[in-house]
A and B are shown apart, each in its own frame.
Chain A
Amino acid sequence: MRFHYFFTGLFNLLFAFSVNAADVPFTFDNETDAERYRNLVEELRCLVCQNQTLADSGADLAQDLRNEIYQMIQTGRSNDEIVDFLVDRYGDFVLYRPPLNTTTILLWFGPFLIFTAAILIVIRIIRRQSMEVPEQQGMENRGKHS
């Protein structure tokens, strides 16, 4: 029984429902909310230091936004609502995963386009070579025979 308590204690220490983001620890009622919080701050960008997530950033604004996200989770807002709240204010730029729309269509399909173009070029080169090679072989063979 003692051991049982010990391990639950240890488990709670490791996976406590609190999330230590920078300096303010947030406590959640359940692990689902804590998990949602961790995921959200990992996939949202800090606007001040643009190559950091909200989770990583020590900027003042990032702290405020983490607070804001925490409050929204506590008041039962869904992930989509929270993301929309930030996109409405800061634009698609807060998302690390860019959404598919008219301005990002090249970003999403550009690589496939380039890949297809590369394949077509390779096919063309191979075809041209295979057309050239038999001719050359024919020449060589003729040379050998004579």
Chain B
Amino acid sequence: MRYSLPLAVFVILVILLGIGLKLDPGLVPSPLIDKPLPAFSLPTVHDRDVMLTSTDLQGQVVLLNIWASWCVACRTEHPLLVDLMKQGRVNIYGLNYKDERQNALEWLARLGDPYRASAFDQDGRLGIDLGVYGVPETFVLDRRGIIRYKHIGPITPQILKDKLLPLIHKLESPAA
């Protein structure tokens, strides 16, 4: 009885520290969730005369993937995106972040191009507007162009199956 209070405090502390261990301090919640995609107009990677604008992405549920040829982690998630494109159910757009056009084109030629179009953000201005701090990052946009989800780091099969695809299907259902 005498030690019940210190013991309770100790147990609570252990539980809190245990939860703290499981949290990833690298994951910063994005303030952009439920906000509209920032307006932009950027040339595409493939053709500097063709512009991709934020309005082009509206009217459909979109997976917007931030990538770069210098980004090592992008390589690990890339086959997943290529597979997803082959299944043809998800509209994938790319944002090529702080890259060289030639390198980006070679990267796509070698590893496959899952993107309907990739905007070419050489100076990273759109990246700043999107709060990008660690490539790859992936956004899910609804039909009205509202950001509904943001994933930081490479997409894993688990995250695709448990988070991204269910959300995309939900947003694509007529009721949404």
Chain A residue nearest in CB terms to B98: A60
Q: Which residues of A contact B130 (CB under 8 A)?
A: 89
Chain A residue nearest in CB terms to B31: A91
Chain B residue nearest in CB terms to A93: B28
**CB-based contact B128/A89 at 8 Å:** yes
**CB-based contact A91/B30 at 8 Å:** yes
With A47-B28, A50-B25, A60-B98 in contact, is A91–B128 under 8 Å at CB?
no
Q: Which residues of A contact B131 (CB under 8 A)?
A: 89-91
Chain B residue nearest in CB terms to A46: B133
Q: Which residues of A contact B133 (CB under 8 A)?
A: 47-48, 61, 90
Q: Which residues of B contact A92 (CB under 8 A)?
A: 31
Grouping DSSP codes into helix (H, G, I), strand (E, B) and loop, the A interface class, with mixed when no group exceeds half, is helix
How many chain A residues sit at the interface, stated as a range, is 10 to 19
For residue A87, CB closer than 8 A to chain B, the reply is yes
Q: Which residues of B contact A82 (CB under 8 A)?
A: none
**Sample of 7 further A-B pairs with CB below 8 A, known A47-B133, A64-B124, A90-B131:** A48-B133, A50-B26, A60-B98, A88-B31, A89-B128, A90-B31, A93-B28
